[in-house]
Structure 1
Amino acid sequence: MYVLHVEKLNKTFKGGLFEKDRHVLQDVSFHLPEGQTTGFVGSNGAGKTTTIKCIFDFIRPDSGKIHFFGTPLNSQSKTRIGYLPERPYLYEFLTGMEFLKLHWNLCYGLSTKDFVERAHEALKKVDLFEARDRRLRTYSKGMLQRAGIAQAILTRPDLLILDEPMSGLDPDGRAMVKDILHEEQKRGVTLFFSSHLLQDMEELCSRLVVVNKGKILYEGGLPDFMSEFQSLEKAFQVLKNREAKNV
């Protein structure tokens, strides 16, 4: 079963008076098998964040089909998805617990009586339990990133989508995030996270989706990718050469 299926996604941003249109996504297609971890990798500006925003309908694609759990995105499927954007905005006047409560209340059909247990569980996982009653404006950049991850895992989602989850974290913070993702893997969650660093993928992923300049260059197993290309830079060059020959 495919937890997420993306088919022929296209997005163009119109240029200004003296600017050309920007074709940001071109026939982007991939799928996420249930229970597996897929890395979405590409250089900065490759189209990763735009793809994720289109998946969630934050911006409207020009064309393409997107299905979660076999159906288009709806209120029921949203409750099964955890999401962390690339640059999360957290309301700085709220405490850690209040921020999670706000997110919980926005999720349709969740029982109020379960909130405190789930919130404490999430905050302990990201090592923010002791700071739960502090206002977010007193958090460091790394603490804010971890608070965002706590929000993403709060509802124990079946699908977890993280856009650059290691961004802004020190080595200890990165290790903590990887430990959290390993725990989610053991729980059977389908993981999809983006990064421009192949090293992040090697430790966590069984599959890769490689994007460059809005086009999917590779989708498949990580071991096959590594045995053929060894590095992301080499992969981009080889795959672009192949693409040029097919034009």
Structure 2
Amino acid sequence: MDVLSVRNLNKTFKGGLFEKDRHVLQNVSFSIPSGQTTGFVGSNGAGKTTTIKCLFDFIRPDAGDIHFFGKPLSSESKTRIGYLPERPYLYEFLTGMEFLKLHWNLCFGSSLKNFHESAQTALKKVDLLEAKDRRLRTYSKGMLQRIGIAQAILTNPDLIILDEPMSGLDPDGRALVKDILREEQKRGVSIFFSSHLLQDMEELCTHLVVVNKGRILYDGVLSSFMSEFSSLEKAFAVLKGKEQSNG
């Protein structure tokens, strides 16, 4: 069963007095298979973040259907999903541990059953265990990104959705995040992450969703996508060229 199914998603942002309406998403449809890592790739401004915001109803789509685990998004399904936005808001006055506790409470209420064990495990995975009692205001940019990933994996979710998870990280930070995603893969977690960096897709993904100018150009197995090309970069360039010539 697909853990996420999106059908005919449309979103238009109304223009101002002298601006045209922006058709950001146009009949976007794709599926995320269970237990696989799916990359969501496209140039900056292609519609990746808008799509992800629509998934969680942060932005209301004009039309379309979105189902998690076969059903519309609900309080129950939210407990099975880990999420990290592209630009997360982090409460800098909290410590790393307090930040994780806040997200645990938002997910499970006031019950702290299994929290400390889960928090310790998540902090260890992102190499922040020794910094757990420091205020977030003292964290570097890379550390803030890693504590964000820690909250995304905190509850042992069945599906993890990450928007540009390696944005702004140095090479060591990028390598650590990739190792975390590989470890989650081994546990059978379904992963959906967006990026404009094609190398990340080649290294981590089994499936691929390609978006360009709000339209889906490809949704399927990565190996099939690359079978005619020597690299993902060349395949992506050809698809964009075909879409532009047809447009």
Q: Same fold (TM over 0.5)?
A: yes
Query: Is the alpha carbon distance of 1:136 and 1:19 closer, same or farther for their aligned partners in structure 2, counting shifts above 3 Å?
Result: same
Greater shift after overlay, 120-129 or 235-244? 235-244
What code does the residue aligned with 1:106 have? L
Query: How far apart are residue 226 of structure 1 and its match?
Result: 1.9
Amino acid aligned to 2:221:
G
CA RMSD of aligned residues (A): 1.5
Q: Distance in 1 between matches of 2:56 and 2:91?
A: 21
Number of equivalences: 247
1:160-213, Cα deviation, whole Å (9 max, x unpaired): 000000011110110000110011001100000000011001111001000000
Provide the residue aligned with 1:48 in structure 2.
48
TM-score when scaled to structure 2?
Answer: 0.96
Deviation string 1:58-89 (CA, Å, 9 cap, x unpaired) is 00000000000010000000000000000111
Any stretches of 5+ residues in structure 1 without a counterpart?
none
TM-score using structure 1 length? 0.96
1:101 matched residue in structure 2: 101
Distance, in Å, in 2 between the alignment partners of 1:229 and 1:26 is 27
Structure-1 residue corresponding to 2:227: 227
Q: What SS is found at the alignment partner of 1:183?
A: helix
With 219-228 and 158-167 compared, the bigger mean Cα shift is at 219-228
SS class of match (2:216): strand
Q: Say whether the 8 Å CA contact 1:84–1:149 is kept in structure 2.
A: yes
| Distance change (3 Å), C-alpha of 1:244 and 1:203 | closer
- SS of the aligned residue for 2:193 comes to strand
CA distance in 1, matches of 2:210, 2:218: 5
3-state SS of the aligned residue for 2:204? coil
Q: Any runs of at least 4 consecutive aligned residues in structure 1 with deviations exceeding 3 A, and if so which?
A: 108-111, 229-237, 240-247
Paired residue type of 2:212: N
Label 1:94 to 1:202 Cα distance change in 2 as closer, same or farther (>3 A). Answer: same
Distance in 2 (CA, whole Å) between partners of 1:47 and 1:231 is 23
Residue type matched to 2:195 in 1?
A: S
Contact 1:84 1:163 in 2 (8 A): yes
Consecutive unaligned residues in structure 2, runs of 5 or more: none
Please give the secondary structure, in 1, of the residue aligned with 2:201: helix
Compared with structure 1, are the counterparts of its residues 61 and 229 closer, same or farther at alpha carbon in structure 2 (3 Å cutoff)?
farther
| One-letter identity of the residue aligned with 2:218 | Y
Checking the alignment, whether the CA contact within 8 Å between 2:226 and 2:235 is kept in structure 1 is no
1:45–1:231: structure 2 CA closer, same or farther, 3 Å change rule?
farther
Aligned residue number for residue 117 of structure 2? 117
User: How many percent of aligned residue pairs carry the same amino acid?
Assistant: 82
